[in-house]
Each structure stands twice: as C-alpha cells, then as structure tokens.
Chains A and B, each alone.
Chain A
Amino acid sequence: DTEVTQTPKHLVMGMTNKKSLKCEQHMGHRAMYWYKQKAKKPPELMFVYSYEKLSINESVPSRFSPECPNSSLLNLHLHALQPEDSALYLCASSAPGQGRYNEQFFGPGTRLTVL
C-alpha cells in the first residue's frame, strides 16, 4: 500500500463549528505532516509529527489542533475557524531515518470552506 488517504474530501463549516480532518497511511512511515495550500500556491507546512510526537509547529494558530493517535493516523481538529482558513489541507508522510527519508508522499487533500 503506497497511499495516503484523507477524509473528508470536502468540508464546509461555519465559524462556530468543530470538525476534524483525518489522514491515514500504511507505508510504515514514521513522519506525518499537515500542510495548508491556497489556490495556485505551493503547500505551506503547518505541523510535523515524528514517531508520534509533535516535532514541528510552524506557529500555527491554536484553532488548529493536531493529533497523532498512532503511527498510521493523523488528525487535525478545527475550531472557531475564520473564512481566510479556507484552503486545501494536505496530509503527507515520509520515512525518516531511511535512505530516502526526504521523499514526502501526499494525500489527495481536504477542500475546506469556512463560511
């Protein structure tokens, strides 16, 4: 299995809602990432988990809360978002410590719209 899966594909939420994005990989990768991508822009790193511990937080607002329940799963909990948070949210994984650890594999993304 060489796939990163993400659910849901699309999400529309109000500014007072609480929702979660989910990501799963079964490649045995021990690093997982959340990125935010605006239209026609490159992905922007938000969080990195390495061996299920938060390794990098790129000064992301607290209304975004990541969680890594186990080595295959990554969640992003959303609360009190703003319309400018509307974007494509991408999950990725890589295999740190192995020969080709820099190769990040992306999921299809969740298209988030905040009303």
Chain B
Amino acid sequence: GQQLNQSPQSMFIQEGEDVSMNCTSSSIFNTWLWYKQDPGEGPVLLIALYKAGELTSNGRLTAQFGITRKDSFLNISASIPSDVGIYFCAGQPPPGSGGSNYKLTFGKGTLLTVNP
C-alpha cells in the first residue's frame, strides 16, 4: 500500500524560530492534508492542498503540494508556544491505485516542542 515518510520525527526549537517539515512518498497523491493534534484531542485540519504546485497559507502556516505530486511540506513562521503538538500529513492516492474517496494515508507525525 501507499506509505508516507514524514520528517523530522521531532523538533525542539526556540520561540520565534521558523519550522519546516515534509512528507514524501514513492507514489503520487491527489490530495495533501496537514493536521495538528494537541495531547488528548483530535487532529485539527490546518491546510488542504488539491493541485500540484499549489502553495497555500493559513496565518503563519504555509504548505505546498509538490510538483511531482509525491511530496508536500509545511512551514510555520515565527513559532509560538501554542504551536506545540504533533503535526500529521495525510494524503489521498488516486482512484485505481488503492485509493478511495474515504481513505487517507497518514505520515507518522512530527512532534514539535517550542521553548519559550
């Protein structure tokens, strides 16, 4: 099946620093989603990407759908303590390659710690 490699696994940064994380796959995806999960809570959708090359921002967050359709990255600028959490990428493969309208393939997550 489809697999996503998400890196880094964890990051320890100082408040105010910029952060970058990415997901890569050996197969193409039609959709890339980025979620943030706080401890004991459900994942919250941050950004959704639907077109190769698409660059989308949500406040201090910026994400891009790679031109090859096999990768995506998420940047957080000027980090603040409330950015702490686990960030998951998720992708939906094209129909006919094991994909469906309902199944997402998740990365293993990036644990972000921000030191005030």
Binding site for B on A (CB under 8 A): 4, 6, 31, 33, 40-43, 45, 48, 50, 55-56, 88, 90, 92, 94, 96, 100-109, 111
* Alpha-carbon separation in the docked complex, A40 to B86 (Å): 8
Closest to B103 in A: A45
Binding site for A on B (CB under 8 A): 30-31, 33, 35, 40-45, 48, 50, 86, 88, 90, 92, 100-104, 106-109, 111
* Alpha-carbon separation in the docked complex, A96 to B103 (Å): 12
- Interchain CB contact under 8 A, B106 and A43: yes
- Interchain CB contact under 8 A, A108 and B109: no
- Interchain CB contact under 8 A, A107 and B42: yes
* Alpha-carbon separation in the docked complex, A52 to B106 (Å): 25
- Interchain CB contact under 8 A, A103 and B45: yes
* Alpha-carbon separation in the docked complex, A42 to B109 (Å): 7
Asked whether A42 and B107 contact (CB < 8 A) given A50-B102, A102-B48, A102-B92, the answer is: yes
List 16 other contacts, CB 8 Å, given A102-B50, A102-B104, A107-B42: A31-B101, A41-B108, A42-B108, A43-B43, A48-B102, A48-B103, A56-B102, A56-B103, A90-B42, A90-B43, A101-B101, A102-B101, A103-B45, A106-B35, A106-B43, A109-B42
Asked whether A103 and B42 contact (CB < 8 A) given A56-B102, A94-B102, the answer is: no
B31 / chain A contacts, CB cutoff of 8 Å: 102
- Interchain CB contact under 8 A, B42 and A55: no
* Alpha-carbon separation in the docked complex, A100 to B31 (Å): 10
A50 / chain B contacts, CB cutoff of 8 Å: 102
* Alpha-carbon separation in the docked complex, A40 to B40 (Å): 11
A88 / chain B contacts, CB cutoff of 8 Å: 40
Asked whether A103 and B33 contact (CB < 8 A) given A40-B86, A43-B43, the answer is: yes
